[in-house]
Amino acid sequence: MVEPVRAIAGRIVPDEVLVTLDGGAGVATEIAQQFGLELRSARVSGLLGQTVARFGIPDGRPVSIVLAQLADEGRLATRTPNHVFELQQAAGLVNYAFERIALDAGAASGENVSVAVIDTAFDPEHPALKDAVAENFDALPDMPVEDRGHGTSISGLIAGRGAFRGVAPGVRLLHARAFEAGVSSADVLLAALDWSVEQGAEIVNMSFVGPENELFDAACANAMARGVVLVAAAGNNGPGAPFGYPAAYDGVIAVTATDAEDRLMEQANRGRYIDLSAPGVDVMAPVPGGMDAVTGTSFAAAVVSGAIANLMHSGKRIEPQALSELLATTAVDLGAPGRDNDFGSGLINARAAMDAR
């Protein structure tokens, strides 16, 4: 029986480690018993090609000590903390995003493109999303759903219909619930990303930030190697903050947020990993019960995911690296000339990317 995800505090789950191994749950159980650990879950990851086991530490040993004790266990391939990730919504009117990214709202479409959103649960009764989600996955099945806000806004910005038109209406939307109370863990996110790729996602929106994690890095790399485009929020932790992951992984499109006048969101992360800018300050989005202005690199990432879906709908289905280069070369330069640590290559320009030869 899989034990529910435990309460999360700080930058890592304080009493858990993640490992990968070539055996199944039986081998994981043996290792857990040998090292005085609890096997809390074990599943085969399609992206990693191995069993991912989540070990609990019942006796209060620090995570660093347990990882050191496991270092010489030859049956384990990888050992890592179960890092914590956080959704990237800043505290915060007509949606100006279409105009700023040069996308015709009336012609926008993501039809025949599959986009996965890894986020909180969403509001299935919201008019913007009613019947819009093709497949739904719960990576936290033993945790009651209380939070639907962030996921409703992200999926609505991408696929909204009716009175609120998303950036890419008509996409085949895949929604994975992986967050509650604004946080998740590497183990849960791995399960959600595995599911997204297995369901045929061509684009995966990851509007969250956490520390670098070896297993999630490998899973992202393997997803991109299969042709999946990964889009992530750069982070809302300020100019002096460490790099935000998964945005800072090689090949992931890292998106920062700008306002209606193309000014950078003040609390946005900075760094050489920033790829693109997109509207993310006071943009209108669906929220449970209605609409509201939302702010954060989360929402800028959703705008870029929707813009990429439009590109794919128009026939630009190219491998992730080539797509990233296309978006960079057609972006509107902002800030210092050329690529910089604030705006990346600049503001995404959907029309220029569609028209590029």
Cβ neighbourhood burial of 77 (10 Å; 0-12, 13-18, 19+): middle
**pLDDT, position 317:** 87
- The catalytic residue among 114, 277, 298, 324 is 298
What is the value of pTM for the model shown? 0.87
**pLDDT, position 91:** 57
Residue 260: closest CA among 103, 104, 94: 94
Domain layout of the chain by residue ranges: 12-82, 88-355
Count Cα neighbours of 302 within 13 Å in the Cβ-side half-sphere. Answer: 38
**pLDDT, position 90:** 64
Peptide bond into 169 cis (omega under 30): no
324 tagged catalytic: no
- The catalytic residue among 45, 83, 114, 119 is 119
In angstroms, the first-to-last Cα distance of the chain is 54
- The catalytic residue among 150, 184, 185, 345 is 150
**pLDDT, averaged in runs of 10, over the chain (357 residues):** 47 92 92 95 95 94 92 94 85 72 92 97 93 95 94 96 91 97 95 98 97 96 98 95 95 97 96 97 92 94 97 92 96 94 97 90
Provide the CATH topology of domain 88-355. Answer: Rossmann fold (3.40.50)
**CATH 3.30.70.260, domain 12-82, yes or no:** yes
**pLDDT, position 88:** 80
22 DSSP 8-state letter: S
119 tagged catalytic: yes
277 tagged catalytic: no
Q: How many CB atoms lie within 10 A of CB 113?
A: 23
The amino acid at residue 321 is Q
- Give Cα separations from 287 to 42, 151, 269, 296, 348 (angstroms): 35, 9, 25, 14, 25
